Chains A and B, each alone.
Chain A
């Protein structure tokens, strides 16, 4: 008998909870649920981000990666050569500007590639 009553009361608690859910009257309860939902969503997002990052690395073909680094490297040399050529035509110093800026462009190309592969950031944060 007693146990039956207990059961009844717990049932009523349950039903009241249900009502709360339906009417959304318990604002504190709702807030709690919202924050927990938020946390869950964040966790989910982080997991998904990790997944996409790993996937992106996997299906990023070697061809695309090579093209990326190649364009970084070559473009800097081209810019260096162009600046050297423009310098020479302005100041009539025909080979020297080209030589100097080609070498600087080469250095900038190496810098670009190191930045693109993320080696630059590590050493930068180390020196800071």
Chain B
């Protein structure tokens, strides 16, 4: 459709669902916090629980100074959570089951860590790669290993979210496919198809758990990495 500097910029279903996720999140939070009652309504309670949950997670791992990142972490958590939950609707597209999306989110986190670290601590941020109490002889090797370990963070962060969502949805689809292929095999097949059907129901429940859990894991790891940016020497 459109292109910008030779790069094709078209409206894909991935882009559509990312926009839908953002609109749904913003719309829900605006609607929920609109009344601002002293005694919260149900909607407002949900918004407050989300706020408290992310604030506690961030404060526990990055400390009080880490609260400057609260808008970023809250946006990330809500985006991942709502995108995961959107994937649970039949015929919807799961944005987080595509590695480029999760990788972009992870790169956003790591770039924030690097930029904030250098702006706040200057070259003192590089102290992150020099563990204390290491003999000078092996120090260069340890520093290289630490740097590789640091660079692997965005990859492991993105792969974990992507792989969990993808694997869960594939499992769900495989079991759902068993139902149709078994039910073509006569009366015995139809009777047998109840087994994968039960499995599909159970897996759907599990997938809801995974949707929450992976959004939480992504947030916790983000907080831990941001904590490194706030206190590089620990």
Contact = CB atoms under 8 A, between A and B. Distances in A.
Interface of A: 59-61, 63-64, 67-68, 71-72, 74-76, 78-80, 83, 101, 104-105, 107-109, 111-112, 115, 124, 127-128
Interface stretch (B1-9, B160-168, B190-198): B160-168
B14 interface: no
Contacts of B85: none
Interface stretch (B32-40, B151-159, B180-188): B151-159
Contacts of A127: 133
B141 A104 contact: yes
Contact of B209 (A59, A67, A104, A105): A59
A71 B213 contact: no
Interface in B43-59: none
Interface stretch (B67-75, B86-94, B111-119, B142-150): B142-150
A71 B145 contact: no
A89 B131 CA distance: 30
16 contacts: A67-B160, A67-B163, A67-B164, A68-B217, A71-B163, A72-B156, A76-B152, A78-B152, A79-B155, A104-B148, A107-B145, A108-B152, A111-B146, A112-B152, A115-B149, A128-B132
Question: What's the dominant secondary structure at chain B's contact region?
Answer: helix
Question: What's the dominant secondary structure at chain A's contact region?
Answer: helix
B160 A71 contact: yes
Contacts of B164: 64, 67
Nearest to A83: B148
Given A59-B209, A67-B164, A128-B133, A75 B145 contact: no
A83 B155 CA distance: 14
A80 B160 contact: no
A19 to B, nearest CB: 25
Interface of B: 131-133, 141, 144-146, 148-149, 151-153, 155-156, 159-160, 163-164, 167, 206, 209-210, 213, 217
A71 B159 CA distance: 6
B204 to A, nearest CB: 15
A67 B160 CA distance: 7
B209 A75 contact: no
B213 A105 contact: no
A92 to B, nearest CB: 21
Contacts of A78: 152, 155
A83 B144 CA distance: 11
Nearest to B133: A127
A108 B209 contact: no
B50 to A, nearest CB: 16
A80 B167 CA distance: 26
B134 to A, nearest CB: 9
Contact of B145 (A59, A61, A63, A111): A111
Contacts of A101: 148
Given A76-B152, A101-B148, 5 more contacts: A67-B160, A72-B156, A104-B145, A108-B152, A115-B149
Given A59-B209, A67-B167, A76 B148 contact: yes
Contact of A75 (B131, B141, B155, B167): B155
Nearest to A115: B149
Contacts of B148: 76, 79-80, 83, 101, 104-105, 108
